[in-house]
Structure 1
């Protein structure tokens, strides 16, 4: 990690001198350095780097560009681990607005960002707000797959009501779970949302509804969609309504590649559910090393005159 940090800092210094401080390649290096610090648990050091990368992208690309939304997601992730939930909420809401307006409501980034925002609401005890977002994700996925029919969460709540009535439903699950049987969930985010909303239903005492969604998620996974790094909301929900919750959130968030041609680290980040509040190390360290090595080699070639130098940003 120390070697990687030194290389990235050297690359940052060189790029600032040769390309200008507002060049997209500088933003990419800042982002990579922020990712590295984040993986080491140095969130306070990572945050200003991520903010500077955001400022550059807003200047170069405009405030409504999808790459700006990606940087907002990264920044929200760092702030969330520091418990800065008001800032987290602001960054995720902004990112969500950009994705929806630029890429449309069915873009995978919309569902991912809604899930991230819902996790922020859960950390603050805003269960109703989180529930609304989870239902929006599932409804959109259902409408896209089958058209205007009742989504799975409606069936789950219907089963919950019938379980409490005198005429408790005795029909097999399949009558209510056609969505789980027929629909191959195309996104780990949707499967994760099923589990998250199921955990939230359990928190509310809606056990029948929770079991419906959980079985739906299991059936979907058996069809070949096995989500990686699922959000661990159960730990949060078990803690009650205290004003301060220290358990960190397990989630899947990627530092995406930019569209400006710069090479950036793309890596999954897991929020530990053991109360440590730290990012877990993953095999993605090899990816970080590869990116740094290639970037360093390209910089050396350019400075030696063996490669085309990127145009300097005069903004």
Structure 2
């Protein structure tokens, strides 16, 4: 499978690191408007995940590392990218700019066979969560949205708890700050997003409710969600407050997730009773880590706390999608 990455932000660069020497995937090319020398520097040195272990060099618009050579393009217009000439099977669309069918479809017009977004995408693109409904993917699906990191965390929790019955759910995703926030106070259409990200706990609006209602139409008007950005560079904690249809105990809930983690959700969901903090989940490949020590039940009300690495866990599912698509 021959892969290209369009957009070398946080997700694009982490995918590069993880795919460049992958035994079953051939990373052929990357594209970003930044200077190639700056890209090489940011791939080599990362403030969250550390220095990239293999040596790397930029020569004649080729990134050379670990015996691999990856072409580097600097095109703002994706129609100018030579996907057909390079025989690209899948473009990982990580720029955040081409998230609807028409925009992502430009890669198909350029000769790529398929496009995998790194975000939820618009309503005209199929939303599929690996570990939940990946079996709905067919070889004829040209563009796919794997959801976002918060959707991948939440979907599995809601699906499992639906076996008990959910009356309503409130989600608060305590999330590290992102590139869509500001380092110092600045204008923003969402006023709070414009405040200095490393100085405050900042509630921000998110579209998680819309995504979850699309995946669980029976839960329409039963879900509310907010993200609270906190002054850390990586890691997230999802706080679920649910009103269930039936009474349960803390022990029953923890057993439910412990069993799921060891069986059908192995590799997707993890269960722990270790006293974790956010730094401990850096580099964790799971979409969600249920913290059994923080489960509480009052009557029909359940409080469930989970963790996830918003970058490493998410790119793990994108890689799962590539390997799944490779089999179709």
| TM bin (shorter chain) | under 0.3
| Structure with greater Cα Rg | 1
Give the alignment's TM-score, normalised by structure 2: 0.26
Pick the structure with more strand per residue.
2
TM-score (norm 1): 0.27
RCO higher in structure (CA 8 A, sep ≥6):
1
Which of the two has greater helix per residue? 1
